[in-house]
C-alpha cells in the first residue's frame, strides 16, 4: 500500500475531512491528499505570525529583547496563561513568541500581531512570499468572537464562558469558513512556508530561534503522537470546535527531515454536551493524526 493510500485509509476509517501535505526535504519528494483544499488554520496561523516576526527581526524594525506591557484589554479567551497574570507584566518579544507557539497563548499572540502591524501585515507578507493560499484576517480575540451570536459576542469572558454551558457555539460562524475572509490555508501552502523557514529565508540565527521555539511545543498528541521517543518535531497545532490541525517539520535524523501539514475537520456538534462521547471522538481523531504522522515517518525513515 502506498503512503497516499495509507493516508486515505486512515482518513476514511476515522470519518474525518482532511487536507494533508508531505514534503521530504532532502529528496524533494512531495505527495498530498486534498492538499489544495483550504481549511481554517485555527492556531496553526501562529506559524505565519512567527515567520512575519522573523522578517521584521531580520529587517531590524523589531527586537527580541523589546518588552511589551500586558494590559487587561489585551487578554483573550481560549488557550494560554497570560489572562491569569496581573496587568503591567512586561514579557519580552521572545517570551511572547514562545508562549504563542508552545502553549498557543492567545493573549501573547494578539500582542505580537499588534506589534507587527496588525493582521494585514501577516497576510501581506504571506502573499509577498507567493503563498497566495494563506489568508490571515483576524487576531485571536476577533476570531473567537465569530463563534458566538452577535447579541452575546461582546460580553466579558466570564459571561461568555457561562453562556457556553447551556448554548452551543455557531458551527457556521466565520471562524469555520474556508473562504479568504477567514484565517485559512491549504496544507501545501503551509508546507511551502515551513520549507522556506527551514531554508535560507531568514539569517541563520533567526532560523535557529524560530525552529527552537517550534521544537518546544507542549501539545504533542497529534502528528507526533506515535513517533519514536526523542524524535524532534518543530510544529504548531490548531484547535477550534471540530478543527484539529498540526503542521511541522519532523527530524528523522540530522540529515533526514520531512514536512507534514495536517488540517482536519469533523462534526463536533452532536458531542458538545456529551463529555464522555466527545472525549472518545477526539481520541479517535487525534489517533488518526498520529497514525498519519507515523506512516509518514516510516515512509522516509530508511532514506540516508
The secondary element (H helix, E strand) that includes residue 162 is helix 157-166
Q: Which among 290, 136, 120, 260 has a CA at the least distance from the CA of 190?
A: 260
Q: Report the Cα 246 to chain-centroid distance in Å.
A: 6
Q: Which among 115, 141, 240 has a CA at the least distance from the CA of 184?
A: 240
- Dig out the grid coordinates for 9 from the structure: 485509509
State how far the Cα of 48 lies from the Cα of 197, in Å rounded to an integer.
10
Q: Which among 12, 17, 5, 3 has a CA at the least distance from the CA of 187?
A: 17
State how far the Cα of 95 lies from the Cα of 63, in Å rounded to an integer.
12
166-171: long-range pairs with CB below 8 Å, 24+: 168/269, 168/272, 168/273, 169/241, 169/272, 170/146, 171/241, 171/268, 171/269
- Dig out the grid coordinates for 43 from the structure: 492556531
The secondary element (H helix, E strand) that includes residue 123 is helix 119-128
pTM, two decimals, is 0.96
The parent domain of residue 269 ranges over 3-300
Other CB atoms within 10 Å distance of the CB of residue 213: 19
**What CATH number should be reported for the domain holding residue 46?**
3.40.710.10
Q: Give tens-digit pLDDT for 245-261.
A: 999 999 999 999 999 99
State how far the Cα of 39 lies from the Cα of 182, in Å rounded to an integer.
9
- Dig out the grid coordinates for 122 from the structure: 501577516
Structural domains in the chain (count): 1
In this prediction, residue 304 carries a pLDDT of 57
Query: Which of the residues in the chain have pLDDT under 70?
Result: 304
State how far the Cα of 225 lies from the Cα of 228, in Å rounded to an integer.
9
Q: Give tens-digit pLDDT for 149-191.
A: 988 888 888 888 889 888 999 999 999 999 999 999 999 999 9
- Dig out the grid coordinates for 267 from the structure: 462534526
Q: What residues does 256 pair with on adjacent strands?
A: 253
Amino acid at each position: 500500500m502506498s503512503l497516499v493510500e495509507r493516508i486515505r485509509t486512515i482518513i476514511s476509517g476515522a470519518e474525518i475531512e482532511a487536507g494533508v501535505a508531505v514534503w521530504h526535504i532532502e529528496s524533494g519528494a512531495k505527495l498530498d491528499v486534498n492538499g489544495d483544499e483550504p481549511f481554517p488554520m485555527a492556531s496553526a496561523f501562529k506559524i505565519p505570525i512567527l515567520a512575519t516576526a522573523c522578517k521584521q527581526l531580520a529587517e531590524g524594525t523589531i527586537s527580541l529583547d523589546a518588552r511589551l506591557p500586558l494590559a487587561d484589554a489585551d487578554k483573550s479567551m481560549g488557550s494560554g496563561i497570560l489572562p491569569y497574570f496581573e496587568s503591567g507584566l512586561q514579557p519580552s518579544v521572545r517570551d511572547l513568541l514562545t508562549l504563542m507557539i508552545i502553549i498557543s497563548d492567545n493573549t501573547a499572540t494578539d500582542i505580537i500581531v499588534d506589534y507587527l502591524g496588525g493582521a494585514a501585515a501577516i497576510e501581506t507578507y504571506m502573499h509577498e512570499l507567493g503563498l497566495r493560499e494563506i489568508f490571515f484576517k483576524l487576531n485571536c480575540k476577533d476570531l473567537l468572537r465569530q463563534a458566538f451570536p452577535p447579541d452575546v459576542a461582546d460580553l466579558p469572558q466570564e459571561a461568555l464562558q457561562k453562556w457556553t454551558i447551556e448554548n452551543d457555539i455557531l458551527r457556521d460562524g466565520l471562524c469555520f469558513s474556508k473562504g479568504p475572509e477567514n484565517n485559512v490555508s491549504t496544507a501545501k501552502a503551509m508546507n511551502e512556508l515551513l520549507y522556506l523557514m527551514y531554508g535560507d529565508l531568514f539569517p541563520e540565527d533567526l532560523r535557529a530561534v524560530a525552529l527552537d521555539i517550534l521544537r518546544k511545543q507542549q501539545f504533542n498528541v497529534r502528528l507526533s503522537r506515535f513517533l519514536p521517543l526523542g524524535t524532534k518535531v518543530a510544529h504548531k497545532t490548531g484547535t477550534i470546535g471540530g478543527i484539529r490541525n498540526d503542521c511541522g517539520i519532523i527530524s528523522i535524523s540530522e540529515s533526514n527531515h520531512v514536512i507534514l501539514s495536517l488540517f482536519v475537520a469533523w462534526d463536533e456538534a452532536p458531542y458538545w454536551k456529551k463529555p464522555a462521547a466527545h472525549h472518545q471522538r477526539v481520541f479517535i481523531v487525534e489517533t488518526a493524526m498520529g497514525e498519519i504522522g507515523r506512516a509518514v515517518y516510516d515512509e522516509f525513515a530508511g532514506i540516508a
